[in-house]
Structure 1
Amino acid sequence: MAQGTRRLAMPVAALFGLMVVALVASSWLLNRDALRKAVEAQIRAVTGLDLVVKGGTDISVFPGSYVSFHDVGLRGGAASDPALTVDVLTANLRLLPLLLQRFEIADVMMLRPRIRVVRDINGDSNWTPFVGTITRTMKPGAENQVSFSEIRIQDGELTYEDPVRQIKEALGDIDLSLAWPSISRSFAATGQFDWRGERVDGSISIGDFLAALSGDRSGFKARLASAPLKLAFDGTVANRTSMMMEGTMTVDSASLRNALRWTGQAPLGSGGFGRFALKARANVVGASVALTNVNVELDGNVAEGVMTYANNGRQSLQATLAADALDFTPYISTFRLLASGARDWNRQLFDLDSLSTTDLDIRLSAARMTVGPSKLGRTAIGANLRNGALALSVGEAQIYGGIAKGSFGLSRADAVADVKAQFQFTDVDLQACASELFGVNKLSGRGNLSVSLAASGSSPFGLAQSLDGTAMLTGHDGAIAGFNVEQLLKRLERRPLSGAGNFRSGSTPYSNLTVAVKFADGVASVDDVHIDGPARVTLTGTASMPSREFDMKGIASLTNADGAPGFALPFVVQGPWDDPLVFPDPDSLIRRSPATAPLLDAVKDKKTRDAVRSVIERFTGNKIPDKTPDDAAPAAPDAASAKAN
């Protein structure tokens, strides 16, 4: 066995030695000018690009067999600017043909190439001749078969320009290997490059390269991986009249907000858009992508449905999705109507720039939905964003134990937001509704609420200043916390001057409640407020939206057993919304007191007033001017009296 191995090794060694001797001899006898021209001709035949060498040429046969061209330009067709410039282009030669004085390129390596791709109005580019030529040379029986199967790019740059779509992109530090072996119909490209400050790992494989170049259908796989985003596609590709792709697409990102910024998009608002994952069946035609069997996850929300994306000069996204549960809290958490102290409106200016970047048409349905503190049951909503105008519609939502429907519109005029809202809440829990919508925690019961509002401003405070519209609230079988009108009226009926006592405690039950409000320039006019129960209350006045304060007057009255009005008392409501002061009219209490009412009447009677004045003059020794309180003008107090007072 060992002897057989030695007998086999001796001819191989001898053959290798003869090859070395032949290579050394060939290097002395080689026609270097013919080699150079042969390499240039093969590159032109394969790529369809003319080779223009401005620098020197290095030729080596042994130990390495290659030809290196310095400062090279490759031009396609009649183009004046080179489609490709290379600092050093090296063509490695096949060994056996070289021994027979035939020059065949094995592979090509380009050091620091600068690739320029420019699309014209017809969709063609300055690289169209290259695609056409390589398609012809790959066909069986072609006159000039492909003579090399791999191109390696090191430290390259690529610029892409599409003047029609106003797109200009640049890739840097490209390390790439392009391979289409002559023994196979496949093509593969693998490598790395820099784009917008991120390193991207990528690979592409085509099952039938010739079919793909001819525009016919071929198997296609692609993968891109970077820190902001990962994308993969597995399917088919064709390019007859326009690029068409069909297959399974997956997208994954740790932060969709960062991924959108990296790709040049502006996400809405400043909250949410974190963890994102998508898997779908994709159908790509030109710049349009239709996704079916979509399974998408964003910020822990998972939904299924269909989506369509298009970029025909302006980006647009359409989607119809259904979910078991959705949480919108991350997207509204940074939008605050009230300042941190909750006593004043937020004056921070709106950021409306993101309304103008993309068109959206999204329909969502969920069995459960969370919006901040609000918990909704089965809900269907729609969102439409077009040309900077946002429209939200709620077809039906189970909320606060009832049903809500309505719409919300937001349009932009420079830095000013125009807002319109119309909502109807039917048979809802008023305590939960008033607390979460208006921050009012003193109302309970069930009822209906309808609002129609419009405002313009650059901040929540600006919206409050310009608020116009109407609101109507009807309720039943509830209570107003913070005071007990019935107990107060009964106590004051017996002893008018006993004081309110613990007036700001307890609650006022009601059987029916009606509140009608009109808004004009930030002022709410309360024209119709009726509270019916053991005590009846009517109320009129105004409420300032910018200052969030009440200035109202009302009348509270007891209801007798026969239903007729009983003891009645005017009262005043003043102060901030969340903690107003409610106090009786003091003049009314004095009139109702048995002890003070005669004195008040006596002071108003002229005879009694004269008698009282006479007594005062005898005690003081000063004569009082003969003027009645009604026609006497008050004198300005002197310094001493002012100090004494």
Structure 2
Amino acid sequence: MRNQIFAQVESTTGYRIRVSGPVDITLFPSLDLVAEDVGIAQPASGSDAEFATAKTLKFGLMLRGLLDGKMRVTDLTLLDPVIAVPKTQAKAAPAAQPGAVPGAADNAPVGGGDATSVADKLKNLTLDKLVIENGTVILPPSGDTPGKRIERLNLEAALPAYDQPLSFDVAAVVDGKAMQANGSISNFGQFLEGAPARVALTVDAPDTLDAKASMSGTATYQNDILTLSQFSAKSGDKTLSGTAVYQDGTATLSPFTATAGRDTFAGKAIYKDNIVTVSPLRANVRGTLLSGSVRANLANKVPYVEAALAAKTLDVNALTGTAKSKPSSGAGGGGGGNGKSGGAASSAWSNAKIDFSPLKLLNGKFSISAEQLIYDQIKISPVTVQAVLNGGKLNATLSKFNLYNGTGNATIVVDASGKTPAQRVQLTLAKFDARPLLMDAAGFERLEGRGTVSLDLNAYGASQRAIVSALGGKANLEFTDGAIRGVNIAQMMRNLGTGIVEGWQGGEREKTDFASLGASFTVAKGNATTKDLHLIGPLVRMSGTGTVNLPAKHLNFRVDPQLVASLEGQGGKKDLSGLGVPVMIVGPWAKPKIYPDIKGILENPAAAYERFKAFGDGVAKLPGLEKIDKTGALKNVIKDGKVDKDALMDGIGGLLGGSQPQAAPAPAPQATVEPDAAPKAKRTKKSKTAKKKSKKDLQKDAAEEAAKQLLDSFLGN
């Protein structure tokens, strides 16, 4: 009886059943069969290899109705089955043979893909319950990649009648992730004949989806092609709608529209052999419009993605959800007249952990181009970013980009493969407009001119403070044909003796023009040190050394500004002797204290005096002095080819925006009381002689007296 039953199953379905264990058969009131150690093969496929095995097979069949050709299966249960799904093969439709009888293909094996024959058999079949317990399903391989495994599969399905819905409820673990699903297909038998049917599906996959997903639509199955049209799916705030087609192992989604929150995506997607290709792709991500293509290989645990995207404006702030820093309200990094520091300069570095883990979620190559890129307050246009991501290491390059009328190249490396993330930035930027860039980057508006910058910096850490504290490398900065706004260095030198200066000296209209301003820095553990800070401008030279403590945002500089007897700007010499006072710049960079290094002057006052004399001799040789002396303050300095020291003293004061204090007159000798008449004449004569003598003495000692007055003024008397 067992052999007859299995032979009938093979004849009806095309599947051969092997039973190696015991078989229990009950005939009344229904036919019930329990078999141990069962295997199933499909001889029609050309192989006797079993594609399914089970520890136990249970089969129940109502005897009533069998004589009428009606088969009611009350129970079909597989315990601990292992099912290897055979790979589907595309087959051409066979040509019709002359004299062929319609319906002759009804006896073709079900596995042959003839849905009509299956539908015909279902007309006389009902299935009360199909159960799989603790099953394993192995999907077809893709190339050299083994097929995915579905484990701990528990399935329960039912088909009450041919024109009734097929319903199912399934739970399984896919790639180590648990999921549950239930759904239905209306009028299932007619669906197999090619009629459209409504389908519904609900999926709960907490390891993959943020919320339960539901899908509904209309499906048709004809000529081995499954089409799902006008479907819509939803999971939380994410939606997907469109038309999907599955044929010969390839799923095509075209057109489709997807949303994730307020972000939208549209285009065409194809899935085959674990590879998803989306081309073309159109997206609106947080207000940024993107277009291009994406290709993802999902065969491995870490997907490999290749993407080429373009945008008109690429707003990194919007894409990352990072708020723009507030630029300074006019004070910039230098404090300003209101004594308030700029926003970017005054805030402390954050200790908040930066999440670099997304770099480990993907591998691949990325190309992004934009007419304009916005990062924080900085604007770059145009820009092309080429990036490679592998094993948590990101290598990105920006080639030949334009930035504030300058051109540059940059390389950014972030290595998150180890325990502590490491970073490196290499940047060259030439001939950019300094003031708008510094305003947008740091809220600093005190510097104008054309800038050239080169950076090669490295760091490690997972927060702003950690990265800045570990910063090392080199940096070079050079600015030409510009000015320092809000400060007049020459005037500041004249007034240095008034005491410690809080913040930058001068008002908004003050300027120190320069032909060149720059420095090179060596950076170690967040401290940037320079020994060649320099400024060259008309009548002003400056050199200096110092350190910028980046973690503390603190300055410690000693600079030596000098008034020099030269109108040369661009190309001017750095080693001209001049009249100067060393200046200390110390404190937080948002509001440093600037004060004269009096100690340094007093250590060698003779040198200061000699520099003054050289300065006076140099002024006599200046050509075109009227170019800078618009006030006429120096017009009387040179007389008969010689320098009038008194006029020079007053002229320098006028040139720098004020008059120098005059020497206090010598106190008159104490008078004696004498009669009014005689003594009066005597005093008058004596007075004339003294006046004559004083004039002669002043002419003789003019240089020394003028030097004393000027030094007294500089040193605050």
Change (3 A) 1:182 1:231: closer
Residues 171/542 of structure 1: CA separation in 2 closer, same or farther (3 Å cut): closer
Distance (Å, rounded) in 2 between the aligned partners of 1:92 and 1:368: 77
Deviation at 1:587, TM superposition (A): 2.3
**CA distance 1:501–1:593, change in 2 (3 Å):** farther
Instruction: Label 1:168 to 1:349 Cα distance change in 2 as closer, same or farther (>3 A).
Output: closer
- Structure 1 residue 517: deviation in Å? 1.1
Report the equivalent of 1:248.
254
Tell me what 1:365 maps to: 369
Partner of 2:190: 181
CA contact (8 A) 1:40 1:51 kept: no
SS at match of 1:355: helix
The match for 2:288 among 277, 297, 301 is: 301
Contact 2:479/2:516, CA 8 A, preserved across alignment: yes
Q: After superposition, what is the alpha-carbon deviation per residue over 1:510-552, rounded to whole angstroms, capped at 9, x for unaligned?
A: 2221221111232211122211124211111222222222222
- AA in 2 matched with 1:542: T
Q: CA deviation at 1:570?
A: 0.8
Scaled by the length of structure 2, the TM-score of the pair is 0.59
Q: State how far apart, in whole Å, the 2-side matches of 1:589 and 1:457 are.
A: 44
Q: Output the CA distance in 2 between the equivalents of 1:234 and 1:508.
A: 68
User: What is the identity percentage for the equivalent residue pairs of Structure 1 and Structure 2?
Assistant: 18
How far residue 411 of structure 1 moved from its aligned partner, in angstroms, is 0.3
Pair 1:238 & 2:211 matched: no
Q: What is the match of residue 381 of structure 2? A: 377
2:45 is matched with which residue?
none
Counterpart code for 1:250: F
The alpha carbon displacement at 1:185 in A equals: 3.6
Contact 2:263 2:284 survives alignment (8 Å): yes
Q: Name 1:324's counterpart in structure 2.
A: 312
Change in CA separation of 1:140 and 1:369 when aligned onto 2, cut-off 3 Å: closer
Structure 1, gaps ≥5 residues long: 1-32, 60-66, 125-131, 256-274, 598-645
Counterpart in the other structure of 1:191: 200
Does the aligned pair in 1 maintain the 2:241–2:258 contact within 8 Å? no
Give deviations 1:572-612, integer Å, cap 9, x for gaps.
12112222222111125557999x99xxxxxxxxxxxxxxx
CA shift, 1:427, in A, is: 2.1
Alignment of 1:200 with 2:213, yes or no, is: yes
Partner of residue 70 from structure 2, selected from 99, 104, 122: 104
Taking the aligned partners of 2:358 and 2:501, their CA distance within structure 1 comes to 55
Q: Summarize the alignment of residues 37-436 of structure 1 with structure 2, pairs less than 5 Å apart.
A: 45-46=12-13, 48=15, 76-77=40-41, 79-81=52-54, 101-105=67-71, 119=84, 133-136=109-112, 138=114, 145-147=121-123, 165=148, 167-172=175-180, 174-177=182-185, 179-181=188-190, 184-185=193-194, 188=197, 190-197=199-206, 198-203=211-216, 207-209=220-222, 211-212=223-224, 219=227, 221=229, 224-232=233-241, 234=243, 236-239=245-248, 243-255=249-261, 275-313=262-300, 314-334=302-322, 342-436=346-440
TM-score between both structures, scaled by the size of structure 1: 0.65
Partner of 1:129: none
Q: Give the equivalent residue in structure 2 for 1:581.
A: 593
Asked if 1 retains the 8 angstrom alpha-carbon contact of 2:191 and 2:197, the reply is no
User: Helix, strand or coil for the counterpart of 1:448?
Assistant: strand
Bigger CA radius of gyration: 2
Equivalent-residue separation in structure 2 for 1:335 and 1:84 (angstroms) = 63
Residue number in structure 2 paired with 1:604: none
Runs of at least 5 residues in structure 2 that lack an aligned partner in the other structure: 42-49, 89-107, 139-145, 150-174, 327-342, 569-575, 610-717
Aligned positions, number: 508
SS of 2:54's partner is coil
User: Once superposed, what is the RMSD of the aligned Cα atoms?
Assistant: 4.8
Query: What is the alpha-carbon distance in structure 2 between the residues aligned to residue 303 and residue 135 of structure 1?
Result: 45
Change (3 A) 1:501 1:322: closer
User: Does the residue aligned with 2:182 lie in a helix, a strand or coil?
Assistant: strand
SS in 2 for 1:410: strand
For the residues of structure 2 that align with 1:196 and 1:369, how far apart are their CA atoms? 37
CA contact (8 A) 1:549 1:574 kept: yes
Matched to 1:358, the amino acid is: L
SS at match of 2:295: strand
Pair 1:134–1:230, CA change in 2 (3 A):
farther
Assess, with a 3 A threshold, how the Cα gap between structure 1 residues 164 and 501 changes in structure 2: closer, same or farther.
closer
Which structure ranks higher in relative contact order (CA pairs < 8 Å, sequence separation ≥ 6)? 2
Give the aligned partner of residue 605 of structure 1. Answer: none
- Distance (Å, rounded) in 1 between the aligned partners of 2:431 and 2:147: 56
| Alpha-carbon separation, structure 1, partners of 2:352 and 2:84 | 45
Other structure's SS at 1:416 match: coil
Q: Distance in 2 between matches of 1:557 and 1:565?
A: 8
